[in-house]
Amino acid sequence: MEIAYSFDYEDVIDAEKAYDLFWSGAITDKKNFQCPSPGCSAQLTCANIDKPRYAMKKRPYFTTKDKHNCDYVEKCEKSVGVGAEDVGRRAGYIDSQVDTFLFERPKRKAQGNGSKTDLEDKDREIKKRKYFEQDNKPARNGEYNTIKPLVSKFEICKAEEQLDKHYLNIAGYKIPYSQMFVNIDGLDLSTICKYDRIYFGEATVFKVPKKNNDFVVRFAEKIIGERKAYFPTIYIADSIIQKHCWRHVWGNMLNELADSRERTIFYIYSKPKINGKEQEYVNLQITNLNHLDYRIIEDYN
């Protein structure tokens, strides 16, 4: 299933939104979902929600422990004629033409007040309203706090040559994916946008010597400056990692990357800047790990 009711977020959301909420810390329990049909109370789990993207064979999706039947399941099966798990996985997510990148952390909406019966009644009401709202405007704009869903969508749109047809809304500005994502390879510093963009390129992770928990991401391709070319870097201080709700997960992932030296594409929402006393390096500053993501390059040989 593509959509579900989230008790924690009090909305009917798709699996990409659930993934984003999980990784930005707004929700922490992958089982706290329910079938979106107002008449059905089957419990749903968001599969893959806790996995980094490269470790997934399938995109995140909602599933039930035991097969269940209701009007929503029937509707899904009728519309495509495949298993409910595959229905609409692309539709809601990819067809949305404008995604919104938010800067404020989404809040967990559910408060633990009131008796259990009150909460259930309240949830039932909200679910019903949101479910029918969604029926009326099927292409809801995705609103995300991490760049993870944006990177996934970028990869699909790139493969389908649709980068000019999808947009990102950032602080009220509509920017096509083709301009939002900037390849580091051969980039000329004099031509970069004054606002932050999502820069990407192949990179390797290193542990910083004598600073146990700091990491440096070093890009494999050069950015061209006025006087010389630079291999840009991202410095991830331990303090940045400690600020994040998934500090242990991020710490482990970076350690693994540093040990394995696997070929990886890094994505960062930032801006390259010349730094150092002698202007000897270029780095992309990071303030929040929600603005960073990576994909392991799969070797088919």
Number of residues that bind Zn ion (CB under 5 A): 5
Q: Which of 1, 35, 198, 240 binds Zn ion (CB under 5 A)?
A: 35
Verify binding: residue 128, Zn ion, rule CB under 5 A: no
Q: Which of 37, 96, 100, 233 binds Zn ion (CB under 5 A)?
A: 37
CB of 68 to Zn ion, least distance (A): 5
DSSP letter at 114? S
CB of 199 to Zn ion, least distance (A): 42
CB of 41 to Zn ion, least distance (A): 8
Verify binding: residue 150, Zn ion, rule CB under 5 A: no
Question: Given CA atoms 146, 148, 149, 150 in this order, what sign does their dihedral have?
Answer: positive
Q: Which of 70, 119, 156, 224 binds Zn ion (CB under 5 A)?
A: 70
Question: Given CA atoms 282, 241, 170, 1 in this order, what sign does their dihedral have?
Answer: positive
Question: Given CA atoms 56, 12, 81, 41 in this order, what sign does their dihedral have?
Answer: positive
CA quadruple 37, 110, 142, 264: dihedral, nearest 10:
-110
Q: Which of 28, 40, 105, 220 binds Zn ion (CB under 5 A)?
A: 40
CB of 62 to Zn ion, least distance (A): 10
CB of 122 to Zn ion, least distance (A): 19
Verify binding: residue 110, Zn ion, rule CB under 5 A: no
Distance CA 232, CA 236 (A): 13
Verify binding: residue 3, Zn ion, rule CB under 5 A: no
Verify binding: residue 84, Zn ion, rule CB under 5 A: no
Judged by CB under 5 A, the stretch of 33-41, 118-126, 179-187, 247-255 that binds Zn ion is: 33-41
CB atoms closer than 10 angstroms to residue 204: 16
Q: Residue 219, class by beta-carbon neighbours within 10 Å (0-12 exposed, 13-18 middle, 19+ buried)?
A: buried
Verify binding: residue 296, Zn ion, rule CB under 5 A: no
Q: Residue 220, class by beta-carbon neighbours within 10 Å (0-12 exposed, 13-18 middle, 19+ buried)?
A: middle
Verify binding: residue 1, Zn ion, rule CB under 5 A: no
Collapse the DSSP code of 301 into the 3-class scheme (helix H, G, I; strand E, B; otherwise coil) and give the result.
coil
* Chain residues in the site for Zn ion (CB under 5 A): 35, 37, 40, 42, 70
